[in-house]
Amino acid sequence: MLKFIGSGSAFNTKLGNNSAYYKVGNQMLLIDCGSNIFHRIKENNLLEGIEHIHVLITHTHADHVGSLADFIFYCYYCHGEMAKPNVSVYSAYDVKIEELLAINGIMPGVQCFIKKCQSDTQYTLNFCKVLFERSSHVKEIPSYSIELSIDDKLIYYTGDTNYLKESLRNPKVFDFVYVDTCKADYEGNVHLSLRKLSELVSPDERSKFWCMHVDEGFDRQEAETLGFNVVTNEFLTF
Ligand SMILES: [Zn+2]
């Protein structure tokens, strides 16, 4: 359903930062824009035919927002009509995206639009519905999961998390669950290990789950043998 520019964790340079997208006509939805994502978007011509980009931000770790300012400046100056904003950034109200962009020299309303969302409240974008829900990640900054409704499909995108809420373990209403999964498995891990995911989700439910944000030690085959899916990057060239 969603396509991925990168599917790796912060230090997984091979798979790139985790970032998903979905295109409808001349509109594009982008989830997060980590340090190496702008580069990959540009090198792979992903903006071709796109006139407006809706960027959903889960949290402000660099592997999720590191190239957001570059991306916005590029769209403002080099994509579409010169000096006309064509990016809207959406985040939960307590994610400090305005501050982050301000220190990068971006003025909301000038180079981009910023939409602050209440958590647990559904918002309608022109081709989908979006809801931010607090996730369990780190104590320093707020982090969110995203519930998305596109084309009658209900999608849950965990963002960074080390926990899977009860209702997702038997995800009757969801068609796709994209989940932060890693090989690393230790007490205090801020991501969800494949071992823990396997304990939480019964084999019958696993076909709806798509592992993403995987670390370098992650074994795709092991996850697939357990019955989970693993996302793949859309582009081979970086
Ligand atoms: Zn994170």
Could you tell me the CATH number of the domain that includes residue 63?
Answer: 3.60.15.10
Alpha-carbon distance 17 to 34, whole Å? 6
Give residue-wise pLDDT tens across range 116-172.
999 999 999 989 999 999 999 999 999 999 999 999 999 999 999 999 998 888 878
pLDDT at 238: 60
| Residue among 138, 136, 95 nearest 117 (CA) | 95
96 C-alpha to center of ligand 1: Å?
14
Query: What is the domain count for the chain?
Result: 1
137 C-alpha to center of ligand 1: Å?
7
191 C-alpha to center of ligand 1: Å?
8
- Domain presence at residue 93: yes
136 C-alpha to center of ligand 1: Å?
10
- Domain presence at residue 188: yes
| pLDDT of 80 strictly over 80 | yes
59 C-alpha to center of ligand 1: Å?
7
Average pLDDT of the residues in 77-103: 96
Other Cβ atoms closer than 10 A to 93: 13
Would you say 196 and 182 are in contact if contact means Cβ atoms under 8 Å apart? no
Other Cβ atoms closer than 10 A to 183: 17
Q: Percentage of residues in the chain with pLDDT exceeding 90?
A: 93
58 C-alpha to center of ligand 1: Å?
9
Would you say 110 and 84 are in contact if contact means Cβ atoms under 8 Å apart? no
160 C-alpha to center of ligand 1: Å?
5
List the single range of 95-99, 100-104, 169-173 with lowest mean pLDDT: 169-173
- Domain presence at residue 187: yes
Alpha-carbon distance 218 to 220, whole Å? 6
pLDDT at 171: 73
Alpha-carbon distance 13 to 175, whole Å? 30
Alpha-carbon distance 20 to 193, whole Å? 20
88 C-alpha to center of ligand 1: Å?
22
* Ion ligand 1: protein residues whose beta carbon lies under 5 Å: 61, 160
Confidence of residue 236 (pLDDT cuts 50, 70, 90): confident
pLDDT at 131: 98
Mean predicted lDDT score pLDDT of the chain: 96
- Domain presence at residue 238: no
| pLDDT of 215 strictly over 90 | yes
- Domain presence at residue 236: no
- Segments forming the whole domain that contains residue 148: 3-230
- Single-letter residue type at 223: A
232 C-alpha to center of ligand 1: Å?
20
Would you say 122 and 142 are in contact if contact means Cβ atoms under 8 Å apart? no
| Residue among 202, 213, 127, 223 nearest 178 (CA) | 213
Specify which residues 146 forms β-bridges with.
132, 157
- Domain presence at residue 20: yes
User: How far from 175 is each of 72, 110, 127, 165, 205, CA to CA, in Å?
Assistant: 31, 37, 17, 16, 11
| pLDDT of 186 strictly over 90 | yes
Count each helix (H run) and each strand (E run) in the chain, helices first: 7, 14
